[in-house]
């Protein structure tokens, strides 16, 4: 079952997130199969989140159960646009990390703008962007106020879009996989006993 969950996660576009899962069973623990007096038996197995990372646990829960993501220490979730780097020093870029990581010096300070839909925007004024249209290429202008070679000046560049919340739909139905495995157990049992 673990292999099926991992392959469904990979095919759902979740990359190697399935590697954060683990599996165990009575047989692996050395307990074997529990036999009853009436000739019946019982064996169990479990699929669990083995990662200790809160981020990985949260992602697995969100993509298997669905989730609504709301801001924790602010009114808005700030989503970086394609105009700026998405990651800075191995962390997903946020307005708080913008100044901490020196991007206010390398690109420019963030300016608050109210969007036409009422949601806020954070923008950078007077920056250079790549002439070829390459994403995440924003750089500050030179000291003379000119764009760098291969870049064009842009008066206003949207860096972050603020949203009040977002939702993630479940992409993998673990319960459906478990039900399919449970319904296939008699077939597996017959195959196993036929080999004895």
Q: DSSP for 67-114, please give it.
A: EEE--SSSSSEEEE-TTS-SEETTEE--HHHHHHTTHHHHT--EEEEE
Q: Do 156 and 95 reside in the same domain of the chain?
A: yes
Q: Do 87 and 144 reside in the same domain of the chain?
A: yes
Q: Do 48 and 98 reside in the same domain of the chain?
A: no
Whole-number Cα distances in Å, 130 to 51, 104, 135, 138, 154? 40, 19, 8, 7, 10
Q: Do 61 and 100 reside in the same domain of the chain?
A: no
Local confidence pLDDT in tens for the 196 residues of the chain: 888 888 888 988 888 888 889 988 877 787 777 778 887 777 788 888 988 888 889 889 988 888 888 888 888 898 888 877 777 777 788 888 888 888 888 888 899 998 888 889 999 888 877 777 777 777 777 777 777 777 777 788 888 999 998 888 888 888 898 888 888 888 877 787 776 5
Q: Do 83 and 134 reside in the same domain of the chain?
A: yes
Q: Do 146 and 118 reside in the same domain of the chain?
A: yes
Cα–Cα–Cα angle for 135, 136, 139, nearest 5°? 125
pLDDT value, residue 195: 60
pLDDT value, residue 121: 92
Domain total of the chain: 2
pLDDT value, residue 156: 86
Domain containing 98 equals 77-164
Residue 97 and residue 120: Cα distance in Å, rounded? Answer: 18
Q: Do 132 and 94 reside in the same domain of the chain?
A: yes
pLDDT value, residue 196: 52
Q: Do 51 and 30 reside in the same domain of the chain?
A: yes
pLDDT value, residue 97: 85
Q: Do 47 and 31 reside in the same domain of the chain?
A: yes
């Amino acid at each position: 079952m673990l292999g099926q969950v991992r392959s469904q996660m990979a095919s759902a576009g979740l990359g190697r997130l399935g590697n954060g899962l683990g599996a165990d069973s009575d047989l692996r623990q050395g307990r074997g199969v529990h036999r009853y007096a009436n000739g019946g038996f019982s064996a169990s197995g479990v699929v669990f989140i083995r990662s200790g990372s809160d981020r990985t646990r949260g992602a697995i829960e969100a993509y298997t159960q669905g989730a609504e993501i709301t801001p924790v220490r602010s009114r808005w979730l700030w989503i970086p646009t394609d105009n700026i780097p998405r990651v800075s020093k191995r962390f997903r870029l946020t307005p708080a990390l913008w100044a901490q990581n020196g991007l206010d010096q390398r690109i420019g300070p963030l300016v608050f703008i109210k969007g036409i839909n009422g949601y806020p925007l954070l923008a950078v004024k007077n920056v250079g962007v790549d002439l070829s249209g390459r994403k995440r290429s924003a750089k500050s202008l030179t000291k003379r106020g000119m764009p760098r070679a291969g870049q064009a000046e842009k008066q206003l560049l949207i860096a972050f879009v603020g949203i009040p919340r977002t939702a993630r739909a479940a992409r993998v139905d673990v319960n459906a996989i478990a039900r399919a495995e449970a319904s296939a157990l008699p077939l597996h049992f017959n195959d196993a006993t036929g080999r004895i």
